[in-house]
Structure 1
Amino acid sequence: MTTFERIKQTADERGLNLKQTALKAGLSENALYRYNQGVKPKFATVKAVADVLDVSTDHLLDNNINEMHANKKIADPVDLAKVLSEEGVAVFNGQPLSKEYKNALLAVLNTMKDTGK
């Protein structure tokens, strides 16, 4: 699989298209398509794309395909109950969750906790 194909596949898995991925990485909207035409990406570009997609550069470059997050720092735990019950923006697939949706998710999590599942 080429670097372009790995970027495209990973972006698809994240709910992004290549244009969105490029723009979030600070690139021109068609920048990533050049890599499908034989242009070799610069490391700084791969790093920016990897950060947007939350994967390691090794994953995109196929240096270690089995360790998708090998170079990524493990994030601090997030208390979902706190995030879902407080004011502020919570997002899913890049879209903000409404207060009603956050409350519904919190109710589902509480029900699962209470039933031991």
Structure 2
Amino acid sequence: MTPFDRLKKLADKQGLSINDVEAKIGLGKNTLYSWKRKVPSGTNLTKVADFFDVSTDYLLGRDHQGTRTADLTDDDVIFTYQGKPLSKEDKELIKRLMNGKD
């Protein structure tokens, strides 16, 4: 699987086209399609990894899990669901549910 294949899979999961992703992260049209035939630049690779909250190693095929970890109590981390940030209330609800408290 190529970096483009991984990118496409991530975009499809969120219902986005490759052009949508390019627009959202400020890249020119068809920039990401070039990943089909060449290794992505470090800058663009980082932008895509940050957008999808995966590691650059995942996009390059060196890490198969693709996720980064963070603690729900870390206020400096923005947690998202389907590309939308979770509110403080949502984070508190998740913590309560994970601790077995309704």
| Same-fold call, TM cutoff 0.5 | yes
Summarize the Cα distance change of 1:92–1:60 in structure 2 as closer, same or farther, 3 Å threshold. closer
Q: Is the 8 A contact 1:14 1:53 kept in 2?
A: no
Larger radius of gyration: 1
Matches within 5 A, 1:1-117: 1-36=1-36, 38-65=37-64, 67-69=65-67, 72=68, 74=70, 76-77=72-73, 93=82
More helix per residue: 1
2 CA distance for matches of 1:16 and 1:77?
A: 30
Cα deviation per residue 1:73-108 (whole Å; 9 max; x = unaligned)?
Answer: 515359xxxxxxxxxxxx96458xxxxxxxxxx9xx
Secondary structure of residue in 1 paired with 2:63: coil
Give the match for residue 87 of structure 2: none
- Identity, % of aligned pairs? 33
Q: TM-score, with normalisation over the residues of structure 1?
A: 0.58
Q: Quick one: distance in 1 between partners of 2:17 and 2:62?
A: 23
- Aligned alpha-carbon RMSD (Å): 2.8
Deviation at 1:7, TM superposition (A): 0.5
Note the C-alpha offset of 1:20. Answer: 1.1
Tell me the CA shift for residue 13 of structure 1.
1.1
Paired residues, what number? 84
Distance between the aligned counterparts of 1:28 and 1:73, measured in 2? Answer: 30
Instruction: Please report how far the alpha carbon of residue 29 of structure 1 lies from its aligned counterpart in structure 2 after TM superposition.
Output: 2.3
Counterparts of 1:61 and 1:34, CA distance in 2? 14
SS at match of 1:30: coil
The equivalent residue for 1:81 is: none
